[in-house]
Amino acid sequence: MSCCTPASGRAAEPAPAPVPGAGTHAIQQVAVPAQAFAMGDAHDDGVRADGEQPVHEVRLPAFTIDATSVTVADFRAFTTATGFRTDAERFGWSAVFHLALTDPDRVAGRLHGTPWWLGVEGADWAHPGGPSDTALDDHPVVHVSWNDAQAYCVWAGRRLPSEAQWECAARAGLPSRRYPWGDELPADGHAVNIWQGEFPLRNTAADGFVTTAPVRSFQPNGYGLWQPVGNVWEWCADWFSPVYYAQSPVDDPRGPSTGAAKVIRGGSYLCQDSYCNRYRNAARSSNTVDSSTGNMGFRTVAA
């Protein structure tokens, strides 16, 4: 869909659904108190087409959310228990950022309009850079589509957060702030895993990471969430609409009833102010339900 998260354009038979509630979800939980908050971009930072405005009041009941993105180890427990195969595995390829590529001989092509994204055969959640790469257990799982994230939630007795829940948890009670910690990046810029250098050719890795970072890197926000912005985009339950905020209900909004793509939140290690200023609390984007890339993951809330 964008420089950050290309859509797959793939087609395959849907994967069988796991048994509901059969699994164990081991991620630490963070309590978010009931509250009203101002949702949306109060600084006019966003891309108009993303629909981050108008700022509007939202009231949510209390809920609990994962302290971290779902990790490779967590997702492995799911696939081991169920035999589930992700969309990337069934399609036979997924989108890999060119600097993360480990198997040049497995490149099937470059994605239209975003040549830094490569369609790589054998790239999946367990092999993020290609078939010879091995995913690290304490990193966020990537190359998971919305369908895959939803299947994990069914198995674990969880659900994906609504877009409003995600933003509320990321803000951690700081009204109208750009980031989970406030309005400004620290002087060294290293409060979040984002791109440093010249995109898309050179990442200096000044923050320590070229691609994903372990889920408990940097500092948690005021509620205890680790890396709600940067590192990886996170799937939400809602269908995406750029005009939804103008018609959103105040109480516990859950997005449009239909749509062509699902909301993703938080930006990723590829974000930088020069072209993709989406590692902000209010930033939103979207992708199709079967798309998978090396910078999209998810976290869950209690069902």
pLDDT in tens, 143-164: 999 999 999 999 999 999 999 9
Q: Is residue 187 scored above 90 in pLDDT?
A: no
Distance CA 218, CA 105 (A): 35
Interval 198-208 mean pLDDT: 94
Residue 59 bridge partners (DSSP): 36, 251
Percent above pLDDT 90 for the chain: 87
Question: Residue 130 in contact with residue 120, Cβ under 8 Å?
Answer: yes
Q: Which residues pair with 234 in a beta bridge?
A: 265, 297
Longest dimension (CA), the chain: 52
Q: What is the pTM of this model?
A: 0.95
The answer to whether residues 156 and 25 touch, using CB atoms and an 8 Å cutoff, is: yes
CA atoms of 68 and 92, how far apart (whole Å)? 28
| Residue 1's pLDDT band (cuts 50, 70, 90) | very low
The pLDDT tens digits for 28-71 are 999 999 999 999 999 999 999 999 999 999 999 999 999 999 99
| One-character DSSP codes across 6-41 | -------PPPPPPPTT-S---SPEEEE--EEEEES-
pLDDT digits (tens, 9 = 90+) for 73-124: 999 999 999 999 999 999 999 999 999 999 999 999 998 889 999 999 999 9
- Between CA 192 and CA 228 the distance in angstroms is 9
For range 172-198, the mean pLDDT: 92
Rounded-to-5 percentages of helix, strand, coil across the chain: 15, 25, 60
pLDDT value at position 11? 57
User: Shortest CA distance to 240 belongs to which of 265, 269, 266?
Assistant: 265
Query: In the block, which residue shows the tokens 């109060």?
Result: 42
Percent of the chain, pLDDT > 70?
96
Query: What letter does residue 179 receive in the DSSP assignment?
Result: B
Write down the mean pLDDT value for the chain: 94
User: What confidence category does residue 10 fall into, taking pLDDT thresholds of 50, 70 and 90?
Assistant: low
Question: Is the pLDDT confidence value at 192 over 90?
Answer: yes
For residue 13, pLDDT beyond 90 = no
Strands (E), the chain: 29-32, 35-39, 56-60, 63-66, 93-97, 107-111, 114-121, 158-159, 197-198, 202-203, 233-239, 262-265, 284-287, 296-297, 301-302
The pLDDT value given to residue 161: 99
Tokens 């793509």, located at residue: 261
DSSP state at residue 99: G
Q: How confident is the model at residue 167 (pLDDT cuts 50, 70, 90)?
A: very high
Is pLDDT of 240 > 70? yes
**Structural domains of the chain in order of their starting residue, each with its CATH number:** 29-302 (3.90.1580.10)
